[in-house]
Chains A and B, each alone.
Chain A
Amino acid sequence: MANLKVSIGSLELGNPVITASGTFGYGLEFADKLDLRRIGAFATKGLSLEKRDGNPMPRICETPSGMINSIGLENVGIGAFEREKLPEIRKTGATVIANFFGETEDEYAEAARRLDAMDGVHALEMNVSCPNVEKGGIEFGSDPAFLEKLVARVKRDVRKPLIVKLSPNVADIRPFARAVENGGGDAISAINTLKGMAVDVAARRPRIKRVFGGLSGPAIKPVAVRMVYECVRTVKIPVIGIGGIASLDDLLEFLIVGATAVQVGTMNFVEPGIAQRLAEELSAWCEKERIADIREIIGSLKTE
């Protein structure tokens, strides 16, 4: 059996396949659809200090090989997560990455502190890149100086690995990757959704109530691979690749350009067991290719 273990800061994952925030609920919704211990980890729905109801409907629509969403960070809140979800999650034996966000630096720091203290949360993923809310990160994710300060502030009070999820909706992602590293972040995850728009021609209305939303799914994969490659070449901390993964080859593309791990997102809606299937296919592929350790693949891109 090939060694599929990878490390994100001090956290060791059994394999590099993670499920992405916003596509996997609180993990429990998938407990009967796959074995949560057979995937590297799962990232929770983005959590905030207070419960949020999110945006008005309609807030999803399908587009070619993808979808646009404007959920608006609806979540149960950190308190309810700890009381109602986490005790159940702990029983599953899953590795948990708690995704979180705030509207101010203080809120980010407080959310991170609380999640850091919770038994059963193994790493933190800070969202500074949601395109669907007025406040809730994007202003931090659009200025490298702000971002570096935020990362440093949050990192000061937490022991668990801090992953920072970056937005693709910037002219150049590299200064943001650098800001995460300089601020002391343990890893980068990229990319969040691409800001998009779709129109109902018959009604001449936007198909999303709030007009713009975040595009995800196979349609965004080439953009994601390019941006992950740019991040990998800019920083030394691990990069987690996200964007349109639907097959083993998609997953391998991200690893080959240098992603230490990947997150599967939109396809969880279509095939709820896909993350486990891809982890198993990766293992079988390594066996077939006589690869003893997944690290032989990571960053093996030949550009000559």
Chain B
Amino acid sequence: MKTKIISNAVRGTGYFDMEFEAGFAEALPGQFIMMRVGDSRDPLLRRPMSIAGFKDGICRVICKVVGRGTQLLSGKNPGDAIDVLGPFGNSFQPPKNANHILLVAGGIGVAPLLFFAKRNPDKRYTVLIGGRTKNDILAIDDFQSLRDVHISATTEDGTMGTKGLVTTLLHNQREFERLNQVPGFMLACGPKPMLKAMDEIVNVFGWQGELSLEERMGCGFGVCLGCVVDTVGGRKRMCVDGPVFKTGSVKWQI
């Protein structure tokens, strides 16, 4: 569906934060869209992008420039036409009584978690955001605007927050004791090694949670079979059966 860009801003180093007229009526936290780069045949395939916000018909995405397609999209201007399909995929479904939620984000993994928190502003949040450097820590100001929130950042080079990975915070005894107050629901989105580590930690702590997986996709609606994942329930398509999976259900192959 052809629609129009409202704003497109550079964030950190190599990220863009885009708002566009959605052209669809509703979206749920965890869902994603497939954005076409242009009318040309190169780049050919659409890019999957997690929805970072949806309000009054305006959709927001936060993306990392990883190749030529996302490079071209990062250079688009307000008013430019854009071709979007979606929203696709399932959504985060924490129990209704989970009043204190742990959000764990790696890099652009902030996008769906931010959307969730904005949609559920009355909950209490503990947010762990990790990145390689301070330039990879995104949307902190958005999280800070939440009503009841505690945010910790980690960077691999120590340029912001604790030096290390998000999991470093959970291995830290004091953090662990504090986090152990959490009623026990976690939502995480980020690179596979991070999600795998969180899956294991959550299991050790005896918490429940959901993981939003990232993968290259050919179509986004279940036909190319390019984004499958093995789970305890068999082989699943990340785009239609996911991208959100319960902790303890993914059979990690990394």
CA distance A45 to B253 in the complex (A): 26
Question: Does A289 count as interface, using CB distance less than 8 angstroms?
Answer: no
Name B223's contact: one of A25, A54, A56, A59 (CB within 8 Å). A25
- A25 near B222 with CB under 8 A, answer yes
- A24 near B41 with CB under 8 A, answer no
**SS class, residues of chain A in contact with chain B:** loop
A192 to chain B, nearest CB (A): 16
CA distance A59 to B227 in the complex (A): 8
CB under 8 Å from chain A, chain B span 32-60? 36, 41-46
A92 to chain B, nearest CB (A): 15
Q: Which residues of chain A come closer than 8 Å to B15, judged between CB atoms?
A: none
- B221 near A266 with CB under 8 A, answer no
- B45 near A269 with CB under 8 A, answer yes
CA distance A61 to B224 in the complex (A): 11
Q: Which residues of chain B come closer than 8 Å to A6, judged between CB atoms?
A: none
CA distance A24 to B222 in the complex (A): 9
CA distance A144 to B46 in the complex (A): 39
CB under 8 Å from chain B, chain A span 66-111? 66-67, 69, 71, 74
Q: Which residues of chain B come closer than 8 Å to A67, judged between CB atoms?
A: 44-45, 218
- A29 near B226 with CB under 8 A, answer no
Q: For A54, give the chain B residue with the smallest CB separation.
A: B225
CB under 8 Å from chain B, chain A span 14-54? 23-25, 29-30, 33, 45, 53-54
- B222 near A246 with CB under 8 A, answer no
Contact mask for chain B residues 163-186; partner A; CB cutoff 8 A; 1 contact, 0 none: 000000000000000000000000
Question: Does B219 count as interface, using CB distance less than 8 angstroms?
Answer: yes
Contact mask for chain A residues 269-286; partner B; CB cutoff 8 A; 1 contact, 0 none: 110100000000000000
Question: Does B119 count as interface, using CB distance less than 8 angstroms?
Answer: no
- A69 near B41 with CB under 8 A, answer no
Q: Which residues of chain B come closer than 8 Å to A269, judged between CB atoms?
A: 45-46, 218-219, 223-224
Q: Which residues of chain B come closer than 8 Å to A24, judged between CB atoms?
A: 223
Question: Does A222 count as interface, using CB distance less than 8 angstroms?
Answer: no
Q: Which residues of chain B come closer than 8 Å to A60, judged between CB atoms?
A: 216, 218, 224, 226-227
Question: Does B228 count as interface, using CB distance less than 8 angstroms?
Answer: yes
CA distance A54 to B228 in the complex (A): 10
Q: Which residues of chain B come closer than 8 Å to A54, judged between CB atoms?
A: 225, 228, 235
Q: Which residues of chain B come closer than 8 Å to A217, judged between CB atoms?
A: 41, 44
Name A65's contact: one of B42, B46, B85, B223 (CB within 8 Å). B42
CA distance A177 to B183 in the complex (A): 66
CA distance A110 to B225 in the complex (A): 26
B206 to chain A, nearest CB (A): 30
Q: Which residues of chain A come closer than 8 Å to B85, judged between CB atoms?
A: 272
A95 to chain B, nearest CB (A): 18
Name B216's contact: one of A61, A65, A66 (CB within 8 Å). A61
Name B225's contact: one of A61, A66, A71 (CB within 8 Å). A71
CA distance A133 to B56 in the complex (A): 48
CA distance A272 to B84 in the complex (A): 12
- B41 near A218 with CB under 8 A, answer yes
A18 to chain B, nearest CB (A): 15
Name B226's contact: one of A59, A65, A66 (CB within 8 Å). A59
B225 to chain A, nearest CB (A): 5
- A270 near B223 with CB under 8 A, answer no
Q: Which residues of chain A come closer than 8 Å to B235, judged between CB atoms?
A: 53-54, 74
- A270 near B253 with CB under 8 A, answer no
Q: Which residues of chain A come closer than 8 Å to B42, judged between CB atoms?
A: 64-65, 218
B68 to chain A, nearest CB (A): 9
Q: Which residues of chain B come closer than 8 Å to A272, judged between CB atoms?
A: 85, 219, 221
Question: Does A157 count as interface, using CB distance less than 8 angstroms?
Answer: no
CB under 8 Å from chain B, chain A span 214-273? 217-218, 246, 266, 268-270, 272
CA distance A62 to B225 in the complex (A): 14
CA distance A65 to B44 in the complex (A): 6
Question: Does A57 count as interface, using CB distance less than 8 angstroms?
Answer: yes
- A69 near B44 with CB under 8 A, answer no
Q: For B228, give the chain A residue with the smallest CB separation.
A: A57
- A29 near B222 with CB under 8 A, answer yes
Q: Which residues of chain B come closer than 8 Å to A206, judged between CB atoms?
A: none
CA distance A272 to B45 in the complex (A): 12
A149 to chain B, nearest CB (A): 31
- B253 near A57 with CB under 8 A, answer yes
CA distance A67 to B85 in the complex (A): 19
Q: Which residues of chain B come closer than 8 Å to A246, judged between CB atoms?
A: 41
CA distance A65 to B39 in the complex (A): 12
Chain A residues engaging chain B, CB cutoff 8 angstroms: 23-25, 29-30, 33, 45, 53-54, 56-62, 64-67, 69, 71, 74, 217-218, 246, 266, 268-270, 272
Q: Please list the 10 inter-chain residue pairs (A to B) with the smallest Cβ-Cβ separation, ordered nearest first.
A: A60-B226, A25-B223, A269-B219, A65-B42, A218-B41, A65-B41, A71-B225, A269-B218, A60-B218, A29-B223
Instruction: Please list 14 pairs of residues, one from A and one from B, whose beta carbons are closer than 8 Å in the complex, sorted by A's number.
Output: A23-B224, A25-B222, A56-B253, A57-B228, A57-B229, A59-B226, A60-B224, A65-B41, A65-B44, A246-B41, A266-B44, A268-B219, A269-B219, A272-B219
